[in-house]
Each structure stands twice: as structure tokens, then as C-alpha cells.
Structure 1
Amino acid sequence: MPTYNLRGINVDFPYEAYDCQLVYMEKVIQALQTKSNALLESPTGTGKTLCLLCATLAWRKSLGGFSRGRSERSSQLSSQDPDESSRESQSSKLPTIIYTSRTHSQLRQVIQELKSTNYRPKMVVLGSREQLCIHEKVRSLHGKAQTNACHALCKKRKKHYCAHFSRVSEFLRSNPGLGDEPVDIEDLVNIGRSCGPCPYYLSRELHKVVDILFTPYNYLIDRGYRKTLNIEWQNSVLIFDEAHNLEGLCADAASFDLPSSLLSACISEAKSCVDLSISRRDKSNDKSCKPDNFAILRALLLKLEKRIAEVPIDSKELGFTKPGPYIYELLADLNVTTKTATMLIDIIDEAVLLLEEDANISDDGGQKTKGTVCRLESMGDIFRLIFRDNYSHANNYRVHVQEVEGSTLDAFKGKTSRILSWWCFNPGIAMEEFSRFGVRSIVLTSGTLSPMDSFAEELKLEFPIRLENPHVITENQIWAGVVPAGPSGYAFNSSYRSRDSLEYKQELGNAIVNFARIVPDGLLVFFPSYYLLDQCIGCWKTMGHTNLSNSSTIWERICKYKLPVVEPRQSSLFPMSIEDYMTKLKDKSASGAVFFAVCRGKVSEGLDFADHAGRAVVITGIPFATRTDPKVRLKREYLDEHAQLQQLGQKNSQALTGEEWYSQQASRAVNQAVGRVIRHRHDYGAIIFCDERFSNSNRQSQMSLWMQPHVKCYSKFGDVVFTLTRFFRDGGICGPTKLELTRNSCQGNVESSQPLDKLHSDKLLTTDTSCTVVSVSSPKKRGTSLSHLTEVVPANRSSLTSHKLNIGLKLSSNANLLSHLSTNMQSSFKDAIGSTNYDLSGTKSSQCIAPCSLKKPRLVITGHEQTESFEKSDEPSCSRENSHATSYSTGFLKNEKLQWFNDRSKQNAQDSRRLLESEVKVKNMTCTSIDPKDKEKNSASTASNDEERKGSAFLIQVQEKLTDAEYKEFVSFMKALKSKAMKIGHVLQSIARFKDYIPAKYHSMYDHHVQANQNVAGL
């Protein structure tokens, strides 16, 4: 295992580290050594979690080793109240590392990474009772009911004592090495079930002596839960992994929404408490039952309900808004102040306990398996939040009352439903608390933190250590492009002005049909919102070709190439959709699957679509939050107000404005969705931005820094098809099939692709067309250097449509590409390849670029068999390995004015219409080597009237595009070819820009072969 010395610390790393990984680890150590906060961005796939663990643990180990075998020091449990057991002072003042991530599933992955290292710190994972409790009856309860039931069973004076809790102390004494090896929540539960100790209290006791503690970060952000952890914060290191959502979570944790339905439920529960307390007092003569307190609580809640209902709302859209301190004014009218709030909260807690005891404790003291949801518990949390800091942060809040659509019953009664909200717009409030605790360093890391200035400004912390890391992949492993317009030239713009238009949805659908056929295996398509996703899919399922009543719909054409899965709105259905996607991805009957999802949804957060699971991601628009949403509008106003105040006080201040925040939030959502592909060093994929606004330099500057150099803007959809097809044909040079490549061999300069020539780009697809191309099997063993050219697929083959191209190719040996070309060029040119994208009816073809999946077997089709096979076969348009050239351009021209497609944008539509009216299908040139015995048959065939008619129609099309001089030159050229009077050396040079049809790495062989033919020909 390699060891690296970084800032005087020896870091053991499981593998040979890349340069960016060494830089990342050095920044982590720098932050820890200097007691500084760090903001570290490193793309997904660069091993940031492993780097973070190794660097942090190496630094911690250098201070004096790990605390192994010390579990017995924490085995004294309080018999009265386990959660309030005194905090045991640690024998060492060495820093504790607190490693947090968003979810337990992410923490599980972190622990797997820890197992791959040499480091074995004492560790534990914290979880909730719902995850860790193994008591047969308590585990069926939820929330406060579960907590209270657990506390009751852990008190020794109770008849029904929890046996699992009683075994914790003994188990820790007998197993001092617990935590010396990595354990996760499942391991703790298995220990409890096999050996008896309670996993929940096992972790709570063990965390007092560990070197590193793993926990979801909502456990720390929530003040109430944080207090129960009894963590020694002084000099600790706090790490937030996957921290891109941290600012939003901090703000939400300090805010509340009180809908009318919740308030009504609380009033009803208060009434139940009055009745229960009277009943208990009468039955048992228990003077501790005080129904008057619950009656006061009910009366107060009724007044609050009335007060909210009386708030004047002039505009339903704007609602009623006041500054944050207004909440205290509103409650003061109800006689709820700082002095009375504590008493009120105590009454609510008593009411909650009374209701839970009634719901969960049976007459004999046994636990019912039925839990209860107590609404008053939420009301207690609201009052705690309001009065927790003695008005100190009120100016960072806004009070908002809005009317919403209530239930049908409320509407029938004429009762309006309102929501009282107290929103925090300063997420730094939660983070500032950690600084006050004496935390040594706070390290925030993610793959999408950019732009960092605004991120740091929002959290109100100083981050002197910052890093925006590059990716470990090479240039040829990523295709990133902005697609401003679709196949027909209609602009992509998902703003509210154009997103509802039929043209936009149709254009986007046709583009996705193309992508579904080009991209192999898994395709992810992200929409800005569920609304747009539903609208587009609904439209695609009904929209076909306007001129053909029986044509396939856009949705059917997508399904032809990719099996679809749509992200559900309901969280409970999400695991099923993921399973469905993976199943369809493995389906051999299709060339992959497509997952339609939403930015900021579950698919875009934390899921790993590595290798074939995600070969490309399509971003269909910028996911701006709804401007009219009250919370968004007030957040922007809050930031603008503070920016103005800050600028008045500091002339050089760079305060974050509302518009900047609004834009950056959308960019972060895009960056997060983009991170679903290219998940490791040997992965590769494409990132497609289908919105013209991504062409803006300011928008691109907000993309992750590693991605910015790779993003190119394309003026034509044909260029996108051309380069994307070539990428997946040649792509993955450093992909999963090349695992033998090492870091050093992958860091050299990669040959840059030749610029797309204007001549060829005009021939590419500009609409939804069919382009099925047949590949032939290539020998497993390569021959001479020239034989490599047999693997070259012409770069322009995406322009050849199946309804005009009838190519049959038989390769009997491993002869090189140009040898076949020489033979084929001597054959008759009585027919030529059609180059339009339309069929005889004038409608767009229902097919598009063939998929590049490796799943399908290659076909060898010749002659008359081919046309039928095009319609039935799902053969890919290209293959990444051992592909033979199967089609060649016959666009012979001697100056650059001659083009199959004119790029004069103003005349494109008119020219295409004229072509449609006059176009007659022509039989395409067969590039098969012709035996001399067959030449007479071919000559007879070309003499037929049908052939002459098609040839005349073709010449009419050519004449429309050329000047008289150019047309004469073209005719003479074709005659020379037909009569075989032209030497092959001239033919090679006469093919305009044929070199562009060959990938850059074969250019030297091509030049050599051309020169050799010229020498043979005596030129």
C-alpha cells in the first residue's frame, strides 16, 4: 500500500493516488493542522471520500494513535434516565472526528471505504431507535411514543424491564474491542439479536470513547436531538460529506409551517386531554391530573386559530408578510411571552405524555403494538423554536400567512385553510453554534459546491482553505455540449414563455429519440420540474407525425430504442422505480433504458449510475425555482435588503444578491444531476445541455470547474449527432474495458479531435430521421498497420438514411479500408447516395441515429436482404471496438461551394420544401466488391428505364444546388468514373475532405497510403 508524506504526515492510501487526490488530502491536513475551516469540491469519481478518510485518520493517528480496546470505560449506565447519563470525561484530550453525511445509506458506503484502508480507529455509527431497537413491542412504535416507552422499560423499578438494556454494560466489559473494526448499523443490530445487548444504547455508550463517529447530519443540525448525543465538541473535527444541500437543511431546521389542519388537530387533542384527565381524577382520585391546564391550552390554541384567520390577506398570491419579530407580537396578544412560554411548553409535554400513555399502555401495563402520532408534540417544537434564542435571530426570519386549497369538506363549509410560517433565511445560524462549541475545524465537501463564495456567504463562516479539484478522467472520456436547438432548428428554451408550446415539446421529443438511439445502454433525462416532465411525456404519448395519421408517436419511438422509467412523485415508490430501471437495463431485447427524472429529485441525489447504468445525462432546462413561490420571493427580498445594508457599511463588499442566489441555486441543481454519470476513473459518458441559455458564459461559469473546459456549444443539431456518434464509436478508450490502463498511462496528451468541417456538418441529421447502419464482423487478430484502417467507420455515416441507403459489404479478408475503396471506386456510379432527411411523403422519418449499444450482435447483410433488415433490426449505428467501415460518402466535389446541404439558414426551409416536392427515391450505390462475372448483370440492370428515371431525378436535384459551371464539372467527373478513365490516385484526391472521415489517430496511415498509391500510379 503506497504511503505519501503530506505536510509532514505519512498517509497510507489503498491505491496509487492521482495528483488531484494528493492535492485534496493535503488541503484536508492543512485545515486540521491550522485549525481552519475548509470548503473542498472534488468531482464524483475522484475518490474524495477515501481521500477524506485517509487524510483525517492519518493526521489523527499522528497525534498519538487510536483508542483501541477501551469500550469498558463507558459501561456505567444510569438506571434512572439513560439518555441523561453523565458525560464521561475521556482519558485523552485527543480530537474526536465527527463524520456526517446526508443519509445512512451514504454512511454505509463510507464505512465500506474505511474497510479498504489500513486505518482501524475505534468507531461507531449513531442511529435512531427506529433503526436500532430490537425490543419486540417498542420497535413497532414511532416518535415520542417509542422514546417514552423505551425510557419506561429501562427503569428497573418497572415490572416489565427491558432485558436488552440490562445487558449493555456486561457486553461492553466483555468485548472491549467492539468498534476496533468497522461496524455499521446492520452489524450492531445483528450483535443485539445474537448476543442480547440493546444496539441503540450500545452505540450511545460506545461513542464516548471512539476516535471517529459516523452520523447523519440532521442529527447534529437539529438542536433537540443534538443535545441527547452528549458529544464532546471541544477540539473536535466536524466533517460534512455531500454538503451541497447543507444550507437548505440548516434553514429548514430553523423554520416551521403551521397549517390550519395541524392546529385543528392540536385543539382536538387538547380537548381529549381535558376529558382523559377528568376521567383519571374521578376514577383514581389522582390529584396530579389537572384538567384546567389542558383547558387553558385548548383555549389558547383556539385564540391562535382565530387570530390567524383574522389576518388580512389582500392578494392570495402575495399572502400576508411581516418581519420576523412580528411572531412575538402575534403571540403576545395570546399572552404567550418569554415568561409564559416555558410553562406552556411544559403543559404541552404533559398532554403528549398523557395521550401516548392512553394510546400505548394497556390496563395490565403491557405495550400495545399500535403506535400513535401526537400533533401536540409538533406544537411544542414550534414554541421551543420561537423562544429558543430570546429574540436574537428574529431579524433573519419572515412571518408569512398564506391561503391554500383546503379539503373538500372545508370548502363545502366555506372554511378557508391557512398556513402560518416562520421562515429562517440565514442558514448560518446553525453553523455558528458549532463554532461557539469550540470545534477545531469544519470541513465541508461535495462534488457540487460551486460557486463557493456564495456558499460560504450563506453559511456565515470563514473558509480560508478552499479547493475546486479537476477530474481524474481524460479528455476523451467525456462529451459535454450545449444543444441550443433541435433537429428542425426550433430553439430549446424551457422558460415559462416557451415550455408549454407544442413546438418545443415536439422538438425536445425528437431530440431525445435521437439521443436514445445514439447513446448505448443507460440514458438519464432530467427535467427542471415535475410539471414539465408530466407535460412533455403526456404530449409525446399522443404526438406523431402531423402528416401521417398512422405514424408512431414520439413516445413509441423512444421506447423502440430505450425502455422507459419515470421518477415517481411519491417517495415510497422510488425504490421500485430504481429496481425497474436496473431490470430494463439488463433486458437483451432493447439497447438500454432511459430514466426520466427531475432536477433536485431523488435520482439526482446521491445515486450511482456508473458504467452502463448511465452513459449520458440530458439536462432539458435550467431548474429555476418558481419565482412566485412565497418562500423564494421572500428569500430574494431578504438577500437584497442585506446586500444593500452591507454595501452601505462596506464600500468594497461583495454581498450575495437575491438574483445571484436564485441563479446559483439552479446551477447547483444542474451540477448535481450532471454528477450522476462518470462515477470512477475508468468510466466515460456524455453530458447534453438542451437549452440555449447554457450557451451564456455566465451560466457556464457556474458549472463545476472540472466540467467547464469540456463544454462546447453547437450551432446545429447535425454537429451534435456527428460528434456524439463519433464519441460513442471511439469512446471509452479509458473506460471499463481498459482496466489495464494505469494513472501514468492515462495522463498523457490525448489527440484532439479534428474540428467538424462545415461541409460535413451540413450533411448531418437536422431532424428525426432513420440512420440504420450495418456493421460487419472484424477479425479478432489485427493484421498490419494498414489493416487498422478496416476499423475506421466513416465519420459522416450518421448522414445516411436507411430509406435511401442500400449498402452491402462483404469483406472476405482483413484487407485495409483503402484497398476496398480502390476496388469500389472503379465500379459503376450510375446511382448515388441520397442526402436529404425526408421521405417521399414529405414527413420526417420515424427513426433516428442507430443506438451504439454493445449488446447487439453485428450483422452481415448484403444486396437485397438489407432493406428489409433495416426495419427489423435493432443493430447499433456504431461499435466502439473492431468496427469496419461500412459506408462511404459519394459527395464528390472539387471546390467548397459544392454541398449536399446548403447551410444558408434563411433558405433551408424553402430548399427542403422544394426538395420534398421533387425528390424521387434513388437506389444507393453498392460498395460491395464486384466479381468480374457479375459486371454484365450490373450493366444490364443499370440500363433499365427505372434506373434511368431515378438517375435523372438525382441529376435534377444536383443541378438545383450548383451553378452551371459546377454542374458541368460534376457531370464530367461522373462520366469519367463511369468510363473508368480516371486513375485511382486522382479519385482519392478528388474526394473532398475524405481525410475528415477518418479519426485523427489514423491520419498518418491514410497519408502514407495515399502517397503509396500515387507512387504506384506514377503521379
Structure 2
Amino acid sequence: MKASPSSLSNMPDIDDLKCLIGEEKLETPSTFSFPFTPYGIQHDFMSELYSAIEGKKLGIFESPTGTGKTLSIICGAVRWLLDHENRELRQLKLALESLAMKNEETINDDDDDWITGQAKLVEQQHKVFEISKMLKSLEEFNDNIEKIKKEQELKKKKVKSLVTKTLNQKNDIEIEKDKDFFDEESEFLLEDYDQLSSVDDFEEISDEKVQYEGVKIYFCSRTHSQLSQFVAELKKSPYSTSRIIPLASRQNYCINKTVKSLKNVTLMNERCLEMGKNKPSQKPTKVSSVGSIIKKKKSETLCKCIYNNKDKIQSLAEEVTTELRDMEELVNRGDQISACPYYASRESIKYAQIITLPYNTLLHKSTREASGIRLEGNVFIIDEAHNLLDTIGHIHSSQINGQQLTHSYSQLIQYKNKFELRFSANNLLHLNQLIYVIGKLINMLGGTPGVSHAETSKIKVESKVYTLENFVHQAEIDHLNMFTLVDFFKRSKIGQKIRGYSEKYMPSVSLQPIKPKLSSLQTFLKEIENKKNNKGKELKKDENQHTEQQVTDIISNNPLTPVMAFIESLTNCCEDGRIISTTQSLVGKGVFKFLLLNPAVHFKEIIDKARSVIVSGGTMEPISEFKDQLFNFNGNNSDRIVHFSCGHVVPPDHILPLIVCSGPTGKQLDFSYQERTSIKMLNEIGSLLENICRIVPAGIVCFFPSYDYEELVYQHLEKNKVINRLSERKKVFREPKLTNQVDEVLKNYSLAITKTSTTNSKVTGALLFSVIGGKLSEGLNFSDDLGRCVIVIGLPYPNIKSLELQQKMNYLNSHMGQGTGQQHYENLCMKAVNQSIGRSVRHQRDYAAVLLLDHRYQRDNVRNALPKWLQPSLQVHSKFGSSFAQLNKYHNLACPCALLS
């Protein structure tokens, strides 16, 4: 049983005893430990970060990529944590000394009568007891850490022989024990909903209660690779002995081959929990044709995961405490000693000072609680936070289609018919309610419950927007409690039960209309007719097969999970979201989408309970989004918000940002939606690229507003032989749409640049066509020769006619003032542009040109939204000639010897 977050510490909160201890404020240090002498902006960053955490602030920290932001975060935040730990110990000892003196004064006080004096003395002794208990817990914790360190040093000398022995035994045991995991039909019965306790059945390694944990720093980022980079930077810092734990999902940590083979994280979670319970399970149960039980056979124990060994997990947890490891290193070590890295990481949280984790684990409440993350009094640093609002919205939005609804309905009906006589009355009631709700949702899409998703919709093709209140009323489900249905789904494990039952008895479900059965003679005649019609012909592949399959659809056996995610979204506050309903000609193509309009509602608990929340990034503009829509949406936190922004370590003359308003032919560059597909604009792009490729050395990255526009431009340039001419100067590459192809393209792009730099070929480098907001516009570095010039074509404004965007803009206008919606629209565009710009100039000795191609960039509102570090060097050129001359002059001077002299 998992302890609730509030029970993880039995100690009184030190804040509750400030009246006794007094609050000692930590002064911001004048110097910080750093791997080298820090730049001024790095020192300022650390100072402001230290001060923000000490002051319990909500910080917005902006430091351009290449300025050593990660090291600054580490050295500023960890310094504060160590100072705070010393302060905590110091304050407790001082409080005891102070109370001892007060006790003496009370005993010797002749002014009070005996009864009053004894009452004071009892009260003070109680305070002494409470503080002594806190001090003892803290000292025991520190002693335990030291004990673990000494034990691990001794273990290192003996571990090699044990590892070898374990590896030899491991595989045979796994093969034997992982067989025959699933039981027969009784395992598919629902958990008895009315007998479940109110506490969720989460997993937990140890039932021991943690007496002391201390303040922790949680460092969050988008990807595990970024978190691994953080660990690598920590290893190089003066704080490499810090106790750091990387948190991740089972998908990242599982080393059990059987569970890992499931791939899907939901399935892996379910299987792991089942194996961890090790509880008796019924053998095949004999039932009558109507489903009543005839004979129940004796129970047997499900197999237990060999890696879920308490002693080994504890041992691995202690190892991680004393030796800094990233996620991959923890997995390798767990595999070596046959201990589960997933459970070890969670067991070691109580020892940790720093915990790394991906965004989703923190931002999604149920995931956060399942991971044992405590918000109270801790520090949360969210890096690469420029898209934090969008990320929160994405995590808490949901979408389902008619095919998922009809499939879920079909599965639930078949499941109910199979086991109806074996359900408790309460389970049957809630199951019927769930079937009813899904049936009503099918009706909303123009379908009939129990009929194929290929049914023609009874409602015309259209899109509608509903408030949550109007939606449940229109669907005729407003009399049911959605909270109860969500709770029933989670605690009865109905999704897991149906999935298991479907995999065993319904491996594929046909939802196409059933064709009339033909007689034997009719079948024979039909075959002859088909052979005659197809004689001498080859079957032609339908190029539009994806629009309407002609064969029986085989669809997932787990559609109930996204359906329940949508139903759970109906439990949000009515004002915070909207439902967009889109009906199509076929029921299965219809879509319901829940759109979260107020991300702050899901971030509020973190802000309210955490000591300090810091969001950081290379480009955090517009800052107003974080202030108004995240930190201070209800107007209660304005005094807690601090903002820090620093310049770039790259000297101003190392970067050349140019706004180019006209092309080589004098045509004004206008890549608005109405103009960008014109032949004149497409020709201007070709002419521009040819000119730029002649003078810019090494690598050029050209960003387009969308994949569709990149495709259009490339086809036009190829048709007009421009690609051939460009290839004489630069080898041309294109951003792939598939993620698994990105690394290969980047590798070849880099090799092409390296190869041309060492030969006397006419080819001087490479040109990479990329997409703003695509796979190459965030998180990747085009430093040095990989990006001597970044070109941004147009402004990537989103589709203003989008229902989702219109609802968001209307919501902001009504809740935050007129004009806020338009500002949000502008921000969506400029945030994407800024991320693309930030791919170049990654360190102090780097240099690059940035060309912004569109006359609209010269507008004040657009220029002001560009990165602050870029603006002092920004030049506006109304004519292409002057910009080309400036670019040519820059690259003639911008050689390493000139720049570094």
C-alpha cells in the first residue's frame, strides 16, 4: 500500500515552529563554487536564483543557450540547498538552547504563582520535546546517509564476483517463472467496487515511514536526454557528490523482458502491478452456459517478477544514493544485479537531494502522486519551459473518435453478457451507467449504439463548440456523476480486465455491417464471376486507401482508455474548457475533443504547495504569458513573481541579424497566407537562396512556416532546376517527417559540411530545409559550421479560423481583458520563430548570420517580440542589395582568426 504524500514525514513542519526557532534569512553569497571563473551573467544568474529560492519566489529565468545556463542552475540551487540544510540543523540546536534558558527562568521566576509557573514549564517542555524529536530525526537521517556511504565502499570490493554469479543464474530463472502468467476467465472479473478502500492501490516497496527527508530540488525537462545532460553537467560541477535520483516510467526502467515486450506503458504498468501483488488467483472456473458458477477450483499463486526483490532493490537504492548515475546507468546497474531500477529509483527518493524527472510526471497529478512526489516545501526547477503552457494544455486535453466509441461499446456489451451473473449489484450498476454514457456519445455523432462505425451519420457534417455544462446536457448524461464513473473505471480495473479478456477471446473485432450469408451454390457462382472479371487484370492499389478501407477493420483492443480520458475531462470546471464536436459522413470519423483553456488550474497546486517554482529557458519571451496565465492567473501571486534575463556570452559582433524586406528582383517579401504561394514569391525564394549560398560558408539552415509550404517550395525549385544550381554550391537536405529518420539526416548533413571543408570542391557546405516548430527547430544545436547562417522564411501564424484557437482567444479576452487573445495569437508565432533563431550561436566563440525574410518583421510589435539579446544588433534592410552586401562583408571578416584576435 502506498503511503499518502502527507504521511511521508511524521515530523512537525519546521515552519510551524518559527515562533520558537526564529527565522534565519540566508544572505545571497558574493561568490559561488563553479568549474571555472564564471562570466558576469553566470554569477548574476546564480545570485538571482539563490535569492528567489530563499525568498520562496516564482521565478522566470531567461538565459540564452550557450551561456552555461545548466551549470548556473546547478551551482546556484545546490549551494542554496546545502546552506539551507546547515541552517536547519543550526536553528534546531539554537532553539533547544533558547528553551533550556527559558526553562531556567521559569523555574526561578517568583512573580507567578505555582500553578501558572508549572503550566508554563509544561508548555515549554512540550516544545523542547517536539524540537528534540525533529533534531534527532535529522541527525539520524544524516547518520544513516554516512552509514550507507561506508557500506557501499565495502561492497564495491566484493561486488564483481557476485555480479558474475547473478548473471549466470538470471536468464534461466526468468524463462521458468514468466510462463503461464494469465489465469482463466475468473481473472477477468471486476474488482469489487463497493468493497474497495478509499486509498488507491498503488505500489510501494517499503511500509516503513520516513521520519525525515528534508527539502529536495526537483529538476524537470522535456526529454530524458536533456535530463541526462543535466546529470552530466552535475558530474562536472563542484557538487558532484550530491545525492541525485532520476525518475522515469516503467517504459524507461523495466528490465523484465516479458513486461518490456508489451511496449505500451499502460500495459506495462498493469502487468508489473499484477506480478508485484503475488496474490492467489483462481484456477479455471467451471461455469454453466448461462454464466453461473458450477465449480471453483483451488487457487494458485501468480508468478512474481524476479527483479522485484526487496533486498536487492534496497541495495540498488543505496548504491544510487552514493554514486551519481543517470537513467541509462541505473538501468545497466539494475540489470547487473537483478534489481528493478524502477522501484529502486522510487525507494531512493527519501535519500535524495536532487530528483530529475520529465515534465509529464510533474504536471499530471495522478502520475505525480503515483511517483511519490511531494510538493510541500520543495523546490521545482522547470527547464526548457518556453512551451510550458502548451504542454499543460496538451497533457490535460483529450480526443476520441466514433470508431473508438463504437468499439468500446461493443466490448462492454460482450463483456457484460459474458459475466453479468457474476457481477456484484454495485459493479453492474456502474457498468450499465458507463455503457449508457458511451451510447449517448455515439448518438451525438449521429450513430446508433451497437451498430458499426461505418454507419452513415444521421447528423449533417459540421463542427460545434459546447461548454461542459451544455455538452453533458445535450448528450443527456447530466443526471449521472462523471466523478463516480471515473473512480469506478480506475478502481475496478475494468480497462485492464476487458483488455485481457479481449486479447484472449476477441483478438480482433469486426465492426463492419454483417453481409447476408450466401448459400453454397451462390458462393460457387460468385467465385466464378470474380475469376472471370479479374482475368488478365492485376489488382490495383487504391492510392486513397487511407480514406476508406474496403477490408474489415481490425482495431485496437484497448479503446476504453482514451474514452475514459475524455469522460474524465468532463469533470473539469465548466469555465476552464470547451468540447469541440465534429460530425462526419460516417459515425466512425466523427470526433469529440476536450480543449483545456486554463492551464493554470492544473498548475495551481504546485505553486501553492511548493517552496519555490523556477521556470527557465533560452528564450522565455513573452514573459507576460508566464506572469498572467500561469503564476498570477487569479491575481494572488504578483508579489512572489521575479524575472531575470541576461544577455548572451557571444559578443554582439559575432552575430548578424538582418530583416530583409525585399528580394533580389525588388519584389516585397510577403509570405502571408494569401501571397506566399504566388509564383513571384516562390521565384524570390529560389533567387535569394542562390545568392546566399554563393557567399555563406559551411552550413545553412532554412526554416519554412510549415511542412506543406516546404514541400511546395521544394517542388517548385526542383521543377525550375534551382535545386540543381543550389547543389553546385551546397548539398541540399530536407527535414524528414518521421522521427526515426532525423538522426540519419543530421549525420549526413554534418558529414557533407566536414567533407567539403577538407577538399577543394566547388561545393562549400550544405543547405538544410527545415520547418518552424518541427523536429529540428527545438532541442538541436547547429553550432559552428553546422549553422553559419539561419534563414527564417515568413511568420508562422497559426490558422486564425481554427475553432480551437478562436475559443482560446475568446477565453483570454473575457478573463484577462480585451486584446489578450490577439496577443496570444502573436505569441504563438513569435515563440516558434525565437526557438528557430536559437539553434545557432551556441557558445562564446561561435558566429552566425540570421536572416528574417518578410517585410512584416520590421513592425514594432514583431521586432519587440524577438530575443532581447538579438535586438541590439538587429538591422532592417528595405532593399536586398544592401542586406546582401552586409552579409558578404560579415562572412569575409567572420573567420576564426579575425574574431578571436
TM-score (normalised: structure 2): 0.71
Partner of 1:179: 321
Asked if structure 2 preserves the Cα contact closer than 8 Å seen for 1:165 and 1:201, the reply is no
Whether 1:440 aligns to 2:611 is yes
Asked if structure 1 preserves the Cα contact closer than 8 Å seen for 2:379 and 2:612, the reply is yes
Whether 1:418 aligns to 2:560 is no
Change (3 A) 1:492 1:500: same
Q: Using the alignment, how far apart are the partners of 2:401 and 2:38 within structure 1?
A: 53
Asked if structure 2 preserves the Cα contact closer than 8 Å seen for 1:275 and 1:291, the reply is no
Other structure's SS at 1:11 match: coil
Q: Using the alignment, how far apart are the partners of 1:326 and 1:734 within structure 2?
A: 68
CA displacement at 1:118 relative to structure 2? 1.2
Q: Match for 1:109: what amino acid?
A: Q
Q: Using the alignment, how far apart are the partners of 1:312 and 1:24 within structure 2?
A: 61
Whether 1:271 aligns to 2:271 is no
CA displacement at 1:323 relative to structure 2? 2.6
Asked if structure 1 preserves the Cα contact closer than 8 Å seen for 2:364 and 2:395, the reply is yes
Query: What does residue range 481-880 of structure 1 map to in structure 2 within 5 Å?
Result: 481-543=658-720, 553-588=721-756, 590-644=763-817, 657-733=820-896, 738=900
Structure 2 residue corresponding to 1:401, chosen from 581, 587, 593: 581
CA displacement at 1:429 relative to structure 2? 1.2
Moved beyond 6 Å, runs of 4+: 70-73, 285-293, 310-315
Change (3 A) 1:354 1:517: same
Other structure's SS at 1:46 match: coil
Asked if structure 2 preserves the Cα contact closer than 8 Å seen for 1:72 and 1:173, the reply is no
TM-score (normalised: structure 1): 0.63
Structure 2 residue corresponding to 1:42, chosen from 39, 63, 88: 63
Whether 1:453 aligns to 2:453 is no
Greater relative contact order, per chain length (Cα 8 Å cut-off, separation 6+): 2
Structure 2 residue corresponding to 1:190, chosen from 322, 332, 337: 332
Q: Using the alignment, how far apart are the partners of 1:93 and 1:138 within structure 2?
A: 32
Partner of 2:246: 125
Change (3 A) 1:729 1:250: same
Change (3 A) 1:306 1:157: closer
Structure 2 residue corresponding to 1:199, chosen from 341, 349, 362: 341
Structure 2 residue corresponding to 1:16, chosen from 37, 61, 75: 37
Other structure's SS at 1:594 match: strand
Partner of 1:101: 221
Whether 1:83 aligns to 2:203 is yes
Q: Using the alignment, how far apart are the partners of 2:426 and 2:631 within structure 1?
A: 47
Partner of 1:246: 388
Partner of 1:305: 442
Q: Using the alignment, how far apart are the partners of 1:231 and 1:416 within structure 2?
A: 40
Q: Which has the higher helix share?
A: 2
Other structure's SS at 1:421 match: strand
CA displacement 1:533-559 (0-9 Å, x = unmatched): 11111111112xxxxxxxxx1111222
Change (3 A) 1:174 1:708: closer
Asked if structure 2 preserves the Cα contact closer than 8 Å seen for 1:682 and 1:734, the reply is no
CA displacement at 1:400 relative to structure 2? 1.7
Q: Using the alignment, how far apart are the partners of 2:682 and 2:583 within structure 1?
A: 33
Structure 2 residue corresponding to 1:138, chosen from 239, 245, 259: 259
Change (3 A) 1:37 1:536: same
Asked if structure 2 preserves the Cα contact closer than 8 Å seen for 1:277 and 1:290, the reply is no
Asked if structure 2 preserves the Cα contact closer than 8 Å seen for 1:81 and 1:155, the reply is no
Q: Match for 2:467: what amino acid?
A: P
Asked if structure 2 preserves the Cα contact closer than 8 Å seen for 1:683 and 1:734, the reply is no
Q: Using the alignment, how far apart are the partners of 1:465 and 1:361 within structure 2?
A: 59
Asked if structure 1 preserves the Cα contact closer than 8 Å seen for 2:316 and 2:344, the reply is no
Q: Match for 2:565: what amino acid?
A: D
Q: Match for 2:272: what amino acid?
A: C
Gapped regions of structure 1 (runs ≥ 5): 363-370, 544-552, 645-654, 742-1019
Asked if structure 2 preserves the Cα contact closer than 8 Å seen for 1:293 and 1:347, the reply is no
Partner of 1:374: 558
Structure 2 residue corresponding to 1:115, chosen from 235, 257, 268: 235
CA displacement at 1:298 relative to structure 2? 3.5
Change (3 A) 1:354 1:324: closer
Partner of 2:93: none
Change (3 A) 1:324 1:299: closer
CA displacement at 1:385 relative to structure 2? 3.1
Asked if structure 1 preserves the Cα contact closer than 8 Å seen for 2:489 and 2:495, the reply is no
Change (3 A) 1:168 1:720: farther
Q: Using the alignment, how far apart are the partners of 1:464 and 1:433 within structure 2?
A: 16
Other structure's SS at 1:582 match: helix
Q: Match for 2:597: what amino acid?
A: F
CA displacement at 1:272 relative to structure 2? 4.0
CA displacement at 1:289 relative to structure 2? 12
Q: Match for 2:725: what amino acid?
A: R
CA displacement at 1:87 relative to structure 2? 7.7
Whether 1:232 aligns to 2:354 is no
Whether 1:167 aligns to 2:309 is yes
CA displacement 1:906-935 (0-9 Å, x = unmatched): xxxxxxxxxxxxxxxxxxxxxxxxxxxxxx
Other structure's SS at 1:110 match: helix
Asked if structure 2 preserves the Cα contact closer than 8 Å seen for 1:303 and 1:334, the reply is no
Partner of 2:166: none
CA displacement 1:842-901 (0-9 Å, x = unmatched): xxxxxxxxxxxxxxxxxxxxxxxxxxxxxxxxxxxxxxxxxxxxxxxxxxxxxxxxxxxx
Partner of 1:999: none
Report the identity percentage. 26
Q: Using the alignment, how far apart are the partners of 2:423 and 2:272 within structure 1?
A: 25
Change (3 A) 1:112 1:664: same
Greater gyration radius: 1
Q: Match for 2:224: what amino acid?
A: H
Asked if structure 1 preserves the Cα contact closer than 8 Å seen for 2:482 and 2:570, the reply is no
Change (3 A) 1:239 1:300: same
CA displacement 1:701-729 (0-9 Å, x = unmatched): 01111111111011221222211122112
CA displacement at 1:157 relative to structure 2? 4.0
Partner of 2:192: none
Partner of 2:485: 341
Could you tell which deviates more after superposition, 291-300 or 232-241?
291-300
Partner of 1:427: 599
Q: Using the alignment, how far apart are the partners of 1:640 and 1:82 within structure 2?
A: 42
Gapped regions of structure 2 (runs ≥ 5): 1-25, 87-140, 153-199, 281-300, 448-456, 507-554
Q: Match for 1:124: what amino acid?
A: I
Partner of 1:819: none
Tell me the number of residue pairs that the alignment of Structure 1 and Structure 2 aligns: 683
Other structure's SS at 1:713 match: strand
Q: Using the alignment, how far apart are the partners of 1:262 and 1:374 within structure 2?
A: 9
Q: Match for 1:636: what amino acid?
A: M
Q: Using the alignment, how far apart are the partners of 2:418 and 2:218 within structure 1?
A: 45
Q: Using the alignment, how far apart are the partners of 1:105 and 1:566 within structure 2?
A: 24
Q: Using the alignment, how far apart are the partners of 1:620 and 1:70 within structure 2?
A: 60
Asked if structure 1 preserves the Cα contact closer than 8 Å seen for 2:205 and 2:343, the reply is no
Change (3 A) 1:104 1:288: farther
CA displacement at 1:200 relative to structure 2? 0.8
CA displacement at 1:333 relative to structure 2? 3.3
Other structure's SS at 1:659 match: helix
